[in-house]
Structure 1
């Protein structure tokens, strides 16, 4: 960011003139600034505002680089909404109403202001002196805008947070890797904002002025999407706009195990055998860093590290015998002091330091084993293609998924072949890495299916399944932190964050049997999780009673797989995440939002994890619903608070009335599943009103005069709620009230 003294011209945009209107767009000009504002009905309830010089806005043939950058951010470029424009009757000549049904954007002429309405309710309004300004110099354009906040206006989204989901009072810089920022912000009151840029954005969430959300955007074009609707609608529209993930497939939904750092393959496979001997479910082994395969020192071909994996074929053969898959770490770098580094530096295939024209040398990290490296220039199509194709060859050899963290703090003054540097390069580099890896995993499958394990965050990260959870302390605060980061990412449009059951890199003294089982129970009722392979964090480190409860919870995990994978399949269609915060799921219930370590697992289950020692857990049941206790079968009205007695074999989980929970069989791995009969039984929570979320099964619920006919559950065991009876007739199941 240039110092303010270097900015040659600062313009507060105050007076607007109307130019023209079409079915999808209205165009305006700012008086005496030479700038235009285009307002577009991009989708129902979604407005797109673009402000810049007329030449920038009306360019009919953007460069190939500009098109590539646009596609990185937006999955849908063209508008699909319709707009009607009229003068504001009570302010004739002073403003305009841009209407999409009951959603209206008011644009005031002088001084320029914006106000977003849904029906008669004003959702969002700019402050007069902070609506929009532009600072321009020879080499920089910076936009400032701001919206007023009500006293109780919570701000959600904007990436990963280990604290409260309400981000109000904070400050984030988009291209700072430490900030863990994502671009969507929304309020439970029914509005959302997305700044569409790869450049730096500085979000002031009420830190400077408690009653103002403001942002500073470093880009030649100001490009803002404004959403109106319930939070679930906003997430749906945002992910339809920016992209949604593919399916993970069945095998990754099983339990994972992380290899302990420094552990040999033989030792790790002995741990896998212990899981099998104890009948603890397990499906995937994730090898530890450093990267276990990568480019040879003198050839652009991949090889496996012989000191880690002496015989690749033997590894995958033994894994196959144990019914597990292997996920292996990789990295988009070339080690220094190798022939390949020198050759590719000469070719320009590595990121370049502008000051000396040589390849930038980065300090070693966990993936390179501490050795210095150069980064592949993935903006170069040849480099991108080569790296992705080499990854596919490794996957064909037997690896199930690549593991790669590449969100590196690339200094200013480092340039890619496409000309990207600074904030843009820091933003797009992890995106290109994940995109190339996902293309290797899923590109040849229809529909796309597969996962890439990574902690990286960047715009459009939700396109790629799935996100790896943080490394946290082995204590109660660590359990709460991994839960909070998952819920903050779900608020940001990320469908799945997995959890690590403890951390191999942290002291383990705080991991008591009670904490271990509480952590495991929460993880079972989530997108997925990973055991840590060090001895102190494996089930074998605990007493027989604890190990028996581990077996109990892992059986629950495998029974839940059809439901959880069904939620992820639903996310492909709607963008809604697996673990949904109270603000996202119940925006009209402000009390529910205070209980921010509870969450909705998919549409049907309310989960209240124990995040403190003890057997008593307080639970708030959101109002407007009735809830069925999975442990007792009792029914409770919403809007109530209860103290639940929860032993280590139970977790407070409540079924939402009108929904059903479809469960699979208890299994030791997903290979035990019968693909023709993935379901085992169905639990009902009152009279069914909604088709259940379940993997790859077409189940329909039809209401008829106080009864429900359900198609698709024939042959399954059905456990009805109290007061209901089940009758079968051919392929149909009839649910009616008991007489």
Structure 2
């Protein structure tokens, strides 16, 4: 939201009050309190009839500085609030005479002016200033639409910002005006399903604005050298989060807002959907599943989209008796095929549903100020909205879903949750503006906690569309309704990378696109992209996504990349463990790992899958363009090497994609291609890529459930000898692989002598 007309003038009806003169700074023991007048204090008369701005500086966790800017304190706080895990880290406060006051937490210091105009500098231990706030940026503002509080932080020359949730435009947010406000707008506009008031700088710091309501950003727009964020009301609370590495920022940020839960390893496999408005019954579903099996296309999850329920009844959680007369028997039959089952749900209750009357009578649906049930006809006729602020409604909703779980359902696609009205009353008195975004958090938490209760921690997974800050705790999230084009494929990728830069560890998208029917080229390219994502789902709107609906080559491509993903599962499951333990996403933008490389700044058509695999989806029929950072990278599918730093343009057949292993990495390949959950250590191959002399790397191979470590290996290179040693756990059979040479382990050890004349592809 802009408040000024250019640099010098305010917009009509806008009055901006700034902290012009620091009257005093108070040492609060573990915080600083700054009192600043909005005019220069020349004499006592200047203290009369003048607003004051109060600013509190504290430290909720190590390496995190909190700043609260307030005008009036008497406004009732109605909530809701983001659940933050403050560690109560000890802050060092110094208030010397004649100098700036400081508050230090870890390696980050807030340096505050004690006289003259307000100034806050965020400083590292080496003295470098990350960003600063001045009296021209901090402000309380009156507008025709009510009061606002604004903050501006300086942007360094060449500094770039990322994040703010799922955004489908350019990955770099500089030059963009963004409102953090959940909306059901597809993937081709400025609207987004997952809005997160957190931005990440490639200088190694982040800023989290602790407001669930609309947060408006002007990033190098209202003032070209500053990033601005503002909220309606009388106060603004934000946190500056130190790195110094961008990945370290995400570690601290997710420690504050919540780490992603561990996902079951079966969820990494291929999901197949009925699609949305297509015709289907059990016979259709069975034909799809048998068709996949006949073509050696391993399937892990079958998903039933909306019409598993009767039309006009969504959501009543009752199987359509015409198309699915024996749901328990059908689910048992699917389980006999070793499949998991996911069904579509949303938090809306159609008027025709028997649950509408029940929810309305019990007070479980959101109401208008007059006490009526809030209703509208968008999506479902006369639908109401479950009030998750009511504990009884929460338990009621879970009990309805529990019936499905006990029938045999394994997971839920938690669709929608963005179209949340603001002219309503909530059971707990929450502010409707703050509940608009926060509703997604309550909705997904309710469902996820039920799955954990019924299936156990580590075996719960949702397929969620809406989210806000903290939503990463309830994986997995998918990118929403995209078109079936190469352009939409790129939009989806940008959305996923932006979400990853906002702390979300697991992500998926509709392979082939949702709206329309992709041509075979788009489908085949999207298959490679989808199966080299953390989670992979074939889903569409009005047409099926079974590969043979496109052409025979689509079947081959799907088989190739499904098999490849299953072989990569020891590596992917370990990356998933890391996402849950450290908050570093499985899929992530290049800038997270190469913050000093200027060529990765806007590289939004490629990503890292885990820390050691570079993936560049082919966004055209045949041509791929991607950037290779410094070092000698290896094409995993061909064994060819590419030395960077440089941009590469090359042709790829449909069964190929740029998939490069990082120099010095060791990728654990599993022995099975038919499923994602198996004993990864049994028959594991340690593929070593261009190790430096003297290097040593620890490789952990997870247990089949992804929860622990089945085997640990130490891989060293000394001169011409590459040696791997099993140092923990057990592996019945394993091998070391380098440049196509495979050495079977002799007990706990395997080695390859680089000086020996060995034909590539040989086995020893």
Q: Is residue 126 of structure 1 aligned with residue 149 of structure 2?
A: no
Match of 1:456 among 454, 466, 484: 466
Q: Distance in 2 between matches of 1:640 and 1:78?
A: 43
1:103 lines up with 2:108 in the alignment: yes
Aligned partners of 2:93, 2:753: CA distance in 1, in Å? 48
Distance 1:611 1:8 in 2: 46
Cα deviation, 1:341-374, whole Å, max 9, x if unaligned, reads: 34543443211111x3211112241xxxx32211
Number of corresponding residues = 710
User: C-alpha separation between the residues in 2 aligned to 1:6 and 1:387?
Assistant: 48
**1-structure distance, mates of 2:699, 2:323:** 45
- The whole-number CA distance in structure 1 between the counterparts of 2:576 and 2:311 is 31
Contact 2:171 2:602 in 1 (8 A): no
Instruction: Indicate the SS of the match to 1:711.
Output: strand
| Residue of structure 2 in register with 1:162 after alignment | 168
- Report the Cα offset of residue 316 of structure 1: 0.6
Mapped to 2, the partners of 1:377 and 1:285 lie a distance apart of: 30
Pair 1:397-2:407 in alignment = yes
Write the mapping of 1:523-602 to structure 2, written as runs, cut at 5 A: 523-532=530-539, 537-602=545-610
Distance 1:576 1:725 in 2: 32
Tell me which residue corresponds to 2:523.
516
2:247 matched to 1:240?
A: no
Higher helix share: 1
Indicate if the aligned counterparts of 1:686 and 1:724 stay in contact, CA closer than 8 A.
no
**Correspondences of 1:399-548 after superposition (within 5 Å):** 399-443=409-453, 447-506=457-516, 508=517, 511-512=519-520, 514-532=521-539, 537-548=545-556
CA contact (8 A) 2:155 2:225 kept: yes
Q: Does 1:191 align with 2:201?
A: no
Indicate the residue corresponding to 2:266 in structure 1: 251
- Contact between 2:92 and 2:105, CA under 8 Å: does it hold in 1? yes
Change (3 A) 1:295 1:349: farther
Contact 2:510 2:539 in 1 (8 A): yes
Alignment deviations for residues 114-167 of structure 1 (CA, whole Å, 9 cap, x no partner): 22223232221224411x222479996521111122343222000112221011
- 1:725 Cα deviation (Å)? 9.3
Cα distance in structure 1, aligned partners of 2:169 and 2:324? 40
Deviations 1:213-232 (A, max 9, x none): 11112244421100222211
CA contact (8 A) 1:662 1:679 kept: no
User: Per the alignment, do residues 400 and 11 of structure 1 end up closer, same or farther by CA in structure 2, a change over 3 Å counting?
Assistant: same
1:717/1:340 CA distance change after superposition, 3 Å: closer
Map 1:84-99 onto structure 2 (within 5 A).
84-85=93-94, 87=96, 93-99=98-104
1:163 and 1:51 mapped to 2: Cα distance?
A: 31
User: Does residue 669 in structure 1 map to residue 678 in structure 2?
Assistant: no
- Decide whether the 8 Å contact of 1:579 with 1:602 is kept in 2: yes
**CA RMSD between the two structures:** 3.4
Contact 1:631 1:650 in 2 (8 A): yes
Equivalent of 2:179 in 173, 177, 189: 173
TM-score relative to the length of structure 2: 0.85
CA 1:657–1:6 in 2, change beyond 3 Å: closer, same or farther? closer
TM-score when normalising by structure 1 = 0.87
Instruction: Give the one of 67, 82, 86 matched to 1:77.
Output: 86
Q: Secondary structure in 1 aligned to 2:165?
A: coil
Residues 441 and 661 of structure 1: CA distance in aligned 2, closer, same or farther (over 3 Å) = same
Q: Given that residues 336 and 374 in structure 1 are in contact (C-alpha distance below 8 angstroms), is that contact kept between their aligned partners in structure 2?
A: yes
TM superposition shift of 1:339: 6.4
Alignment partner, residue 651 of structure 1: 657
Contact 2:160/2:202 (<8 A) preserved: yes
Tell me, in whole angstroms, the C-alpha distance in 1 between the residues paired with 2:301 and 2:354.
35
Distance 1:603 1:122 in 2: 29
Structure 2 counterpart SS, 1:247: coil
1:201 aligns with 2:210: no
CA 1:141–1:734: 2 relative to 1, 3 Å:
farther
Change (3 A) 1:445 1:111: farther
Q: Partner of 1:628 in structure 2? A: 634
- What is aligned with 2:686? 682
Partner of 2:648: 642
Distance in structure 1 (CA, Å) of the matches to 2:426 and 2:312: 20
